[in-house]
Amino acid sequence: MHSCYQAEIELRENTIAALQEKLKGEFLKIKRPNPKDGFAAWVAQLLMDALEAHEVFCILRSYQKIPGVRAVSIWLDIELGVSAKKLESLAKEVGSHVKLGTPSITWDSDECLYEFHFAPNVDDEEELYAAIDDDGKEVKISEPDDPDWFRRAVRTSYSCLVHGPMGAGKSVLINNYVCAGEQELRKLYNRPVEIKIIDPKFPDSEWIIKNKRILPDYRGWEDAIDGVYAMGDEITRRLEVAKALAESIPQELYEDPTYQLPVSDRNPTFWIIDEGAALHERYKQDFSQPLKDGFWVARSTLNIPIVIGQNPNCSNYGLQVPDAANATRFFLGASMALKGLDEIKPPRDLKSKLRQQIYARLTVVRQKKKEGIDKPPEQYFALVCIQSELPFITQLPPPNAFSSFSNLAIDSDKNDRKSARPESDTGAFAPPDGGEADGEPDGSNPALRGDFDDYHPPVQPSDMGEILGQTLASQIRDARKIEQIKMLWASGKTTMREIVPEVFIDEFPGCKTIDSRQYKAACLRYKQLLELIKNERETED
């Protein structure tokens, strides 16, 4: 009985061995690189031989010598179940043999291929210049089709990740980004833009915005994490104010699709966070959670996080890939751009083109340095990944490219704000049959301007908070409307047709057309405010 089982086992083992030999033969018939075709073909053959010698069956899909540098990319379709450590070990042996060091291995999820990239091991730009070879193959440098790509990057994503080593141009980029962002945000919201700087390594870094040296708001490690907390608290506060404002709208108005929902007044704020990776290493989730919140709701709250670091991986900042995908990402300089390609994983063909662009620009920079130009402008380029767009390589804007007409509120505490005026019995809310109107609104009352931080409702029998029983945002909006209504009464305008279009044009743009749905909705709002004024008078009496 035992011999029968043994014979069956041997038969099956022989069958498996025969199938493996047949499979090997089929693989050998598949496209094989010819070492005579050049350096890249030779490396590809060595890699395939090493894999097959250890029973790792693979199919060669493509290989490429990067023009202008001694670097090779090889794409293989490899059987399932092979451990990453085994691939790394075999590829490292090949890299050592061809004097290219440890290769990078990345998985292309779109095409289900492994990319083995063999290149000289470099730690800085100077070593990259040394790795360039003159193979006679020139790659034309290309720039983005849209010359206004930088402003588009600011408009598209309200958050930013800047990766770059020392001397790569991070300071210049931040200045340009903030100045361009300030201009774009003013166009959209017509509000002053504020900036908060969080610098754990103060005073090592200099912050120069619009040709002025700025003192960071949060200095040192402990202050820095407090600054991150402050950003998180401000995000939460603005979300709560917006929610309260929306909930204060009467249901019949909210259900009207023609009604334009009001937006709470808030200043766009840049939160510039230096040494993001180091802060995450030290404070873990205490740092990453406010940052994640900022990346997801930056547009809604107008709190715009700009995180700076020297590590290309989003995980080192406590972010996952979906979090980082909300941001515009800059990988500054050649070495960081090459690492960025592995981080963002563009399609295979695009990755090859971008890698060629990096080395082509390096060739130009090396030539400029040979001519005696220490810091040629061409060396300041980046891999840029704008939210929901394909990445590209481009020259960075020069210093102060967007400083003109910029008017940043650097220190929010120094903004020119006036305190709230006390209300008199015959002041801004004087009834038409009693006192006089308080004149034209000049913006000095925070309730009229919408500055939440400075508005404090006067504590008196006609307290607006007691009358309206609504949120602070609702108080501000209704106080503004009531003051306008009473000024119109004082000027002799008393009919609904005279008052409604003037007072509610911002909420109902179509209310100037009598009998329109928006006019009717505005009339309903007017009647509600009349009821509030009536209650106010009864309280005073």
Look at the alpha carbons of 391, 393, 394, 396 in this order and tell me if their dihedral is positive or negative: positive
**Pairwise CA distance, residues 507 & 387, whole Å:** 32
Q: Which of 439, 444, 443, 526 is nearest to 482 (CA)?
A: 526
pLDDT given for residue 414 in this prediction: 39
Nearest Cα residue to 430 out of 367, 352, 496, 490? 490
How confident is the model at residue 126, as a pLDDT?
65
C-alpha angle 505/506/510, rounded to 5°? 45
Measured CA to CA, the distance from residue 154 to residue 328 in angstroms comes to 8
What is the CATH T-level fold of the domain 31-121, as seen in this structure? Threonyl-tRNA Synthetase; Chain A, domain 2 (3.30.980)
* Max Cα distance, the chain (Å): 118
CATH numeric code, 149-412: 3.40.50
Specify the DSSP class assigned to residue 396: P
| Contacts made by residues 188-191, CB under 8 angstroms, sequence distance 24+ | 189/268, 189/302, 191/265, 191/266, 191/267, 191/268
SS (H, E, C) 468-522: HCCCHHHHHHHHHHHHHHHHHHHCCCCCHHHHHHHHCCCCCCCCCCCCCHHHHHH
Give this prediction's pTM: 0.66
pLDDT confidence band for 419 (50 / 70 / 90): very low
CA distance 477 to 253: 15
Which has the higher per-residue pLDDT, 42 or 427?
A: 42
Please state, rounded to an integer, the average pLDDT across all residues of the chain.
79
Q: What is the pLDDT of residue 137?
A: 65
H helical segments located in 157-220: 170-189
Q: In this predicted structure, what is the pLDDT of residue 253?
A: 87
Q: How many CB atoms lie within 10 A of CB 94?
A: 22
Residue 473 has pLDDT above 60, yes or no: no
Sheet containing 160-163, strands listed edge to edge, beginning at the edge strand earlier in sequence: 218-219, 194-199, 269-273, 303-309, 160-163, 328-332, 381-385, 392-395
Proportion of the chain above pLDDT 70, given as a percent: 80
Query: Does residue 182 surpass a pLDDT of 60?
Result: yes
Q: Is 431 exposed, middle or buried (0-12, 13-18, 19+ CB in 10 A)?
A: middle
Q: Where in the chain is the domain with CATH 3.30.980.40?
A: 31-121
CATH 3.40.50 domain extents, the chain: 149-412
**Percent helix / strand / coil, the chain, rounded to 5:** 50, 15, 40
Pairing of strands 381-385, 392-395: antiparallel
- Which is higher by pLDDT, 261 or 339? 339
Token digits of residue 33: 């690189």
Examine the pLDDT at 514 and tell me if it is beyond 80. Answer: no
Q: How far is CA 497 from CA 16, 66, 415, 504, 515, in A?
A: 92, 73, 39, 11, 10
DSSP 327: S
DSSP per residue, 136-150:
S--------S-TTHH
Provide the pLDDT for residue 235.
94
pLDDT of residue 383: 96
Instruction: Enter the tokens of residue 407.
Output: 């008017």
Question: Which tops the pLDDT comparison, 490 or 195?
Answer: 195
pLDDT at residue 422 in the model: 32
pLDDT recorded at residue 416: 37
pLDDT at 26: 59
Residue 25 in tokens: 């033969």
Cα–Cα–Cα angle for 90, 91, 93, rounded to 5 degrees: 65
CA distance 248 to 217: 35
Spatial separation of the C-alpha atoms in residues 479 and 468, rounded to whole Å? 10
Contact 85, 112 (CB under 8 A): no
Cis peptide before 203 (omega within 30 of 0): yes
Q: Does the structure show a pLDDT above 80 at 424?
A: no
User: Which runs of E-coded beta strand occur in 261-380?
Assistant: 269-273, 303-309, 328-332
In this prediction, residue 61 carries a pLDDT of 87
> What pLDDT, on a 0 to 100 scale, did the predictor assign at position 444?
36
Strand partners, 198: 218, 273
Q: Is the dihedral of CA 6, 11, 14, 15 positive or negative?
A: negative
DSSP H or E stretch at residue 162: strand 160-163
Residue 460 pLDDT greater than 50, yes or no: no
DSSP letter at 378 equals G
Query: Which of the given ranges, 5-14, 55-64, 126-135, 156-165, has the highest pLDDT on average?
Result: 156-165
Compute the average pLDDT of residues 347-356. 88
- With tokens 């609104």, the residue in question is 441
- What is the rounded CA–CA span in Å between residue 211 and residue 401? 12
When pLDDT is averaged across residues 290-308 and rounded to a whole number, the result is 94
> Given this model, what pLDDT does residue 377 score?
86
Say whether pLDDT at 83 is over 50. yes
Contact between 128 and 339 (Cβ < 8 Å): no
Distance from chain centroid for Cα 62: 34
| pLDDT tens per residue across span 253-290 | 888 888 888 877 789 999 999 999 999 999 999 999 99
Show the tokens assigned to 3. 């011999």
